[in-house]
Structure formats: structure tokens, C-alpha cells
Structure 1
Amino acid sequence: MKRLRLLWNVIRATGAERVFTGFLLALAGAMLVLPRVEPEIHNYGDALWFLFESFTTIGYGDMVPVTMLGRLVTVFVSLYGILVVALSTGVIVGYYSEILKARANASLDEFIRELEQLPDLSRDELLTLAERVRRRHILR
């Protein structure tokens, strides 16, 4: 649940939810228009399949737009789809960066708690702590 909240925060911070929502609305609109203007696209399922082929750039070629409006809709949805895929990549990278930051902060918090207990630690615990400090210094 915590990770989903973090993912949603990254999506909101980047403004990606508007782009994703806009893409879904554009996809739905195109799905409604294409069966009316394209002779090869007979129903909404075919339209959705054709749009999926277009925006993922798979392009099997089983359906091809022949009208000017069909071609314009296809170009728009394809370019919008490429934008959404590119934005999704950035959101995922941002999400994992935030997870790594959270892990580093948790590790640092634990380390600071141990340092606060420094006067109460035994000799062995102090040696273990010193070794951890050396390892962190070497890793950086």
C-alpha cells in the first residue's frame, strides 16, 4: 500500500495522470469515430485493436486507414501513444528513484539511532559499528 501511494505521488508530481487520462479519452473518441469513417473497421472491437496496433507501433497491417480523417486520427493516437510510453518510462524511473531514496533514508535513520546509543554500546558492538562506517565510506 505504501508503494502504491508513492507511485501515485510520483504520477501526480509529474502531471502524468492528466496525460494518461487524456490518452484514454482520445483512445475512446478515436474508437467511436473510426468504425464510422473507415470501411475496413466494422465495430468498436476492431477499432480498439487497430488503435492498439497503431499506438504501440506494432502495425500488423491487417487494417489500414484509407480516409483522410481515419489517417489523421491514427497519426494523432499513434503520436499520443508514443508520448504516453515515453512518459511512463520516466514515471517508472522516478518511482524507483524514490524507493531507493526511502531505503537509504531508512538505513541512515537506523544508523543514527545506533549512534545515539554510542555510550551504551559494548566493545564488540562498537567494533561492528566502526566496520559498518568503513564499509559505507568505501562504497561511496
Structure 2
Amino acid sequence: MKELQVIWAMLKRTGMQRFLAGFALFYILFCFLIQITDPAVESFGDALWFGLNVITTIGLGDYTVTTPLARILVVLLGLGGVLMFAFIPGVMTS
């Protein structure tokens, strides 16, 4: 429990909690947009699963987007995930 308090204090001191909240909103919005632009992603839960695979660069291959707009959204979501996962260690080490 003490470790979580230390992490939360660090996030507040660096302003990182706003960044993480913004990324969560970005993630949910893009997953929703991917769901409505691509017929291969049938539910919002599937879109969240697909989005998690994209931002963590796991890419399990469960889903493949087929429409050009969905592909653009997936590229942007992937870039956002890479930036987010690169930004967190940078903030913590500084």
C-alpha cells in the first residue's frame, strides 16, 4: 500500500495523472471510433481488447481492421500507445 502512495505522490508532483487521464480518454474514444468504422469489430468490448493489443504492441491477431479509416485510427492509437509507454519511465526517472 505504501508503494502505491509513493507512486501516486510522484504522479501528482509531475502532473502525470492528467496525462494518464487524457490517454484513457484518447484510448476509449479511439476504440469507440474503431468499433463504429469497422464491421470486423463487433462490440465495444472487442474494440477495447483490440485497442489494448495495439497500444501494448502485442498484436495477437484476433481482429484485423479492414476499412481505410479504421486503419488510420489504429495507426494513431498505436503511436499514442508507444508514446505513452515511453513517457512514463522518462517521468519516473526524472
TM > 0.5 fold call: yes
Identity rate, percent: 35
Number of positions where the alignment pairs a residue of Structure 1 with one of Structure 2: 94
- What is the TM-score of this pair, normalised by structure 2? 0.82
Comparing both structures, which one devotes a greater share of its residues to helix? 1
The one-letter code of the counterpart of 1:85 is: F
1:83 matched residue in structure 2: 83
State the distance in 1 between where 2:13 and 2:23 align. Answer: 18
Higher normalized contact order (CA 8 Å, seq sep 6+, divided by chain length): 2
How far 1:89 moved relative to its partner? Answer: 2.2
Cα-Cα RMSD: 2.0
Listed as ranges, the gaps of 5+ residues in structure 2 are none
Residue number in structure 2 paired with 1:6: 6
Match in the other structure for 1:38:
38
Greater Rg over alpha carbons, structure = 1
Provide the C-alpha distance between the structure 2 equivalents of 1:65 and 1:51, rounded to a whole number of angstroms: 11
Q: Secondary structure at the match of 2:63?
A: coil
- 1:53 and 2:50 correspond: no
Aligned letter for 1:42?
E
Unaligned runs of 5+ in 1: 95-140
- Please tell me whether the aligned partners of residues 37 and 70 of structure 1 are also in contact (alpha carbons under 8 angstroms): yes
Is the 1:16–1:87 contact (alpha carbons within 8 Å) kept by the matching residues of 2? no
Shift of 1:20: 0.7
User: TM-score, normalising length from structure 1?
Assistant: 0.58
